[in-house]
């Protein structure tokens, strides 16, 4: 339920959500709620954990996000597990507010998994770094077949190097940026909204948007008001 499969071998899994208030209800899946930012904000007036209606909490939360009072929103933490192509992972680490622990090719033999795009984009005419669905089928098929063949040969060389005693940290140099990596990602909700705003934008790379959309969809299941206010105040092209 908390995992969405993506691309050809990838996925996003929401592993945990945690806020400053423990949930004791038996039906609570995570220790985080849409009322946590509002409750935390009330410490400014020494009113933490005072009795408020849900509607009052939501009004305060909306005020906080609308007027960019971000610290209370940082009190909610999110944990994710992702399998994604290396080239995409290297884009995501630019968001330096995340804490990441990644599978290491120095210690583990990386699986025979690499990303082959379903649709191969052509260079966009109006964007230096973008792509458009403007290539004929023959060109797309040529690209996919050659890319897959190259990756198969490189992976065979990688495995052969390991068998011949080459150190894993050097053997992995045969692999390509479309090979899959696997990590755990932790980020507070405020900075995750910043990540989503950039990676859901129509100018972001299509594969990045796919992962960001999956994260958004999973958050919307458990923090629906947070995503409602994100849509209203934080999306770049909403």
207-224: per-residue pLDDT in tens?
999 999 999 999 999 999
Question: If we measure between CA atoms, which residue out of 51, 49, 39, 14 comes closest to residue 29?
Answer: 14
Q: Which of 94, 96, 190, 199 is catalytic?
A: 199
161 in the same domain as 146: yes
Pair 228, 217 in one domain: yes
Residue at 32 is within a domain = yes
pLDDT of residue 106: 95
Phi then psi dihedrals of residue 66, to 5 deg: -65, -40
- Give the structural domain span for 172: 116-177
Strands (DSSP E) found in 103-221: 122-123, 131-132, 180-188
**Would the pLDDT of 237 be above 70?**
no
Q: What is the CATH number of the domain that holds 197?
A: 3.30.1360.170
Average pLDDT, the chain: 93
Q: Do 75 and 188 sit in the same domain of this protein?
A: yes
The band of 26, judged by pLDDT with boundaries at 50, 70 and 90, is low
pLDDT for 112 beyond 80: yes
Q: Is residue 89 part of a domain?
A: no
Shared domain for 202 and 214, answered yes or no, is yes
CB 185 within 8 A of CB 94: no
Percentage of the chain exceeding pLDDT 90: 79
Structural domain total, the chain? 2
Regarding whether 161 and 215 lie in a shared domain, the answer is no
- Of 177, 194, 222, which marks where a domain is finished? 177
**Quick one: average pLDDT of 58-87?**
96
Could you tell me whether strands 131-132 and 180-188 are parallel, antiparallel, or unpaired per DSSP bridges? unpaired
Burial class (CB in 10 A: 0-12, 13-18, 19+), 238: exposed
Instruction: List the single range of 23-27, 181-185, 195-199 with lowest mean pLDDT.
Output: 23-27
The reply to whether 216 falls in a domain is yes
Shared domain check, 76 and 8: yes
199 is catalytic: yes
| Residue ending a domain, choose from 130, 145, 177 | 177
167-178 confidence digits (pLDDT tens): 999 999 999 999
Q: What is the pLDDT, as a whole number, of residue 140?
A: 97
- Range 65-80 average pLDDT: 95
């Amino acid at each position: 339920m908390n995992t969405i499969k993506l691309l050809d071998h990838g996925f996003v899994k929401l592993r945990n959500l945690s806020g400053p208030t423990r949930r004791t209800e038996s039906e609570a899946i995570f220790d985080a709620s849409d009322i946590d930012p509002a409750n935390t904000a009330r410490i400014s007036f020494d009113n933490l954990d005072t009795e408020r209606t849900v509607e009052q909490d939501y009004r305060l939360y909306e005020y906080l996000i609308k007027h960019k009072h971000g610290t209370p929103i940082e009190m909610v933490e999110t944990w994710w597990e992702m399998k994604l192509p290396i080239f995409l992972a290297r884009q995501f680490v630019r968001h330096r507010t995340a804490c990441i622990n990644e599978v290491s090719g120095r210690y583990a033999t990386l699986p025979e998994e690499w990303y082959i795009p379903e649709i191969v984009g052509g260079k966009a005419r109006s964007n230096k770094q973008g792509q458009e669905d403007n290539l004929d089928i023959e060109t797309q098929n040529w690209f996919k077949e050659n890319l897959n063949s190259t990756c198969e040969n490189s992976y065979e060389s990688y495995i052969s190097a390991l068998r011949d005693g080459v150190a894993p940290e050097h053997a992995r140099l045969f692999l390509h940026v479309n090979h899959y990596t696997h990590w755990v990602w932790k980020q507070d909700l405020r900075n995750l909204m910043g990540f989503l705003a950039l990676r859901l934008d129509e100018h972001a790379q299509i594969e990045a948007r796919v992962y960001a959309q999956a994260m958004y969809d999973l958050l919307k299941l458990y923090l629906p008001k947070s995503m409602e206010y994100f849509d209203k105040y934080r999306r770049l092209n909403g």
